[in-house]
Amino acid sequence: MARLHLFQVGTFEQHGLLSIAAVCRRAGHEVRLATIRNPRQVAAAVAGSGAAVAGFSATTGMHRDVLRAAAAVKAGSDALVVLGGPHATACPEVVADPGVDIVCRGEGEAALLDLLDELDGRRAPGPIANLVRQGEPIEATPLRAPETDLDALPYVDRALYHAAVGRHGAAMRYFLTGRGCPFSCTYCLGPKMRDLFGGPPVRQRSVEHVLGEICEVRERWGLESVLLGDDIFGLDKAWASEFLARYRREVGLPLVCHLRVGTFDRAFLDELHGAGCWMLSFGIESGNDRVRRQIMHRDISREEIVAAAGMVKEAGIVLETTNIVGLPTETLDEAFETVALNRDCGTDLVSVSVFQPYPGTALAERAREQGLLPEDYAERIDRTYFEGSPLRMPGIVRLVNLHKFFALLVAHPRLEPLVRRLIRLRPNPLFTLVFVVTHGLRSIRLYGLRGRRLWVAGAHWLGFFLRGGRAG
């Protein structure tokens, strides 16, 4: 038995880490999980547990905090530090960081299990697919195909999560019915993963496996509503019909999911609604055809988006739309078209991000070639996509400011002349406050927050504001 200590940023259920934990525990290894509060606490936890491996997960932006914690672990123990997650996959050269011993590219369940087995003497030492060790050439590391039989993986280890993070009541819980997406939006890491690892673009769990997990969670910890976190829910309509019919009978709890325009019709929405789906989201992303089609590679027309929104509303489902502003070469007027399209769609909840050029994505690469990004742009990416932009292009400050007023403008179009004047000013705490209040109200509605959970969320958003719009 080898000992593994995993660390996560924030309190959200990180299914990547929890899946790794479940696989390693099933094989008989000892696994602990903690949230990263500060480097000293992390180093003390590893030293205190006698872990042979400390595992961290990082998205680009969060990686700086994670690397600081990793460095403290290296300074205070003999544990091997392994870094995984989207940042490690897209930027494996981070293995040269003094705080890191090994980087995991792509899926980590089988790779980390091989490493623990090696340390435990159950496996002969040697190269492990997906794991890049410090000092070894990145290109020499073999990559393994993603797991196609997702039913072979155990349910994510929520017991470990609850022990580390607490229960947070029986609120909305997050489930994944599959992995992957067949589309190729230029700002997303999904297409890069497909290029690197191959395999089928979408891998689906069986209906039985997903329902089994939902029912287990309901019995063990209580459950009020279900969030299906797949990139796009129900691409396989036969699968989705069977799932929704059984979900309605066997679970019957309120449901939220994410769709993509062009992958559903009214009949599917009726099935969703019948199963308890009260809210769904889809991406508008940009209201301007040039930006949406040429820059983002989203081959969806304005008319299709408006028609899809109409169908969602006719089906009696609350509509959330996701949007991005501040894309490379986007103009202010083009971004205002995104505001207008949200209004035309009658969006109930508006979610909006400032574009971040995640390394490995096609759009980051193009922006770099166009001279819109500094060489070290990955180090300038925010922890969240709610703050600034590393892009160097005329008008970017106004676009970043518009982000803060976006949801307000969708609801109150008469404010547009005022907002057009205000966004000429420098970014300031008042603009952040406008965003925090509008976004906070959205979260309250989305998660049905009340009582203690409302206070916790309020404290989170107040903290976000006091830190000047920076998370964590």
**Contact positions toward ligand B12, by CB under 6 A?**
9-10, 12, 14-17, 19-20, 55-57, 59-62, 82, 84-87, 90, 104, 107-109, 112, 176, 179, 188-190, 229, 231, 358, 384-385
When the beta carbons of 311 and 355 are compared against ligand B12, the nearer one is 355
When the beta carbons of 312 and 423 are compared against ligand SF4, the nearer one is 312
Residues in the interface with ligand SF4 (CB under 6 A) total 10
Note the helical H segments in 81-227. 86-90, 109-119, 158-165, 190-197, 207-221
Q: How far is CA 218 from the centre of its chain?
A: 24
Can residue 181 be called a binding residue for ligand SF4 (CB under 6 A)? yes
Query: What minimum distance in Å lies between the beta carbon of 443 and ligand SF4?
Result: 21
Q: Which of residues 332-361 bind ligand SF4 (CB under 6 A)?
A: none
Stretch binding ligand SF4 (CB under 6 A), from 34-42, 84-92, 186-194, 451-459 = 186-194
Angle at 275 between CA 272 and CA 276, to 5 degrees: 95
When the beta carbons of 56 and 336 are compared against ligand B12, the nearer one is 56
Query: What minimum distance in Å lies between the beta carbon of 326 and ligand SF4?
Result: 16
Contact between 235 and 182 (Cβ < 8 Å): yes
Can residue 322 be called a binding residue for ligand SF4 (CB under 6 A)? no
Binding partner of 260, given ligand SF4, ligand B12, none, CB within 5-8 angstroms per partner class? ligand SF4
Question: Counting beta carbons within 10 angstroms of the beta carbon of residue 420, is it exposed (0 to 12), middle (13 to 18) or buried (19 or more)?
Answer: middle
Can residue 185 be called a binding residue for ligand SF4 (CB under 6 A)? yes
Stretch binding ligand SF4 (CB under 6 A), from 37-45, 188-196, 207-215, 447-455 = 188-196
Can residue 188 be called a binding residue for ligand SF4 (CB under 6 A)? yes
Can residue 192 be called a binding residue for ligand SF4 (CB under 6 A)? no
When the beta carbons of 173 and 179 are compared against ligand B12, the nearer one is 179
Query: What minimum distance in Å lies between the beta carbon of 148 and ligand SF4?
Result: 19
When the beta carbons of 84 and 440 are compared against ligand B12, the nearer one is 84
Query: What minimum distance in Å lies between the beta carbon of 185 and ligand SF4?
Result: 3
**Edge-to-edge strands, sheet with 131-133:** 30-35, 3-8, 53-57, 80-84, 102-104, 131-133
Query: What minimum distance in Å lies between the beta carbon of 398 and ligand B12?
Result: 21
Task: Assign 115 to helix, strand or coil.
Answer: helix
User: Which secondary-structure segment (H or E) carries 178?
Assistant: strand 178-179
Binding partner of 346, given ligand B12, ligand SF4, none, CB within 5-8 angstroms per partner class? none
Distances (CA, A) of 114 to 8, 55, 271: 21, 14, 42
Q: How far is CA 191 from the centre of its chain?
A: 15
**What backbone phi and psi angles, to 5 degrees, belong to 128?**
-120, 125
Query: Could you tell me which residues come within 8 angstroms of residue 106 by beta carbon, excluding any fewer than 6 positions away?
Result: 89, 130, 143, 144, 146, 193, 196, 197
Report d(CA 327, CA 385) in Å as an integer. 12
Q: Which of residues 249-288 bind ligand SF4 (CB under 6 A)?
A: 260
Contact between 351 and 321 (Cβ < 8 Å): yes
Report d(CA 333, CA 339) in Å as an integer. 10
When the beta carbons of 39 and 85 are compared against ligand B12, the nearer one is 85
Binding partner of 455, given ligand SF4, ligand B12, none, CB within 5-8 angstroms per partner class? none
Which x/- pattern, by CB under 6 A, does the window 201-240 give for ligand SF4?
Answer: ------------------------------xx--------
**What backbone phi and psi angles, to 5 degrees, belong to 375?**
-55, -35
When the beta carbons of 30 and 416 are compared against ligand B12, the nearer one is 30
Binding partner of 54, given ligand B12, ligand SF4, none, CB within 5-8 angstroms per partner class? none
Contact between 180 and 146 (Cβ < 8 Å): yes
Report d(CA 109, CA 211) in Å as an integer. 22
The residues that touch ligand SF4, with contacts defined as CB under 6 A, are 181, 183-185, 188, 190-191, 231-232, 260
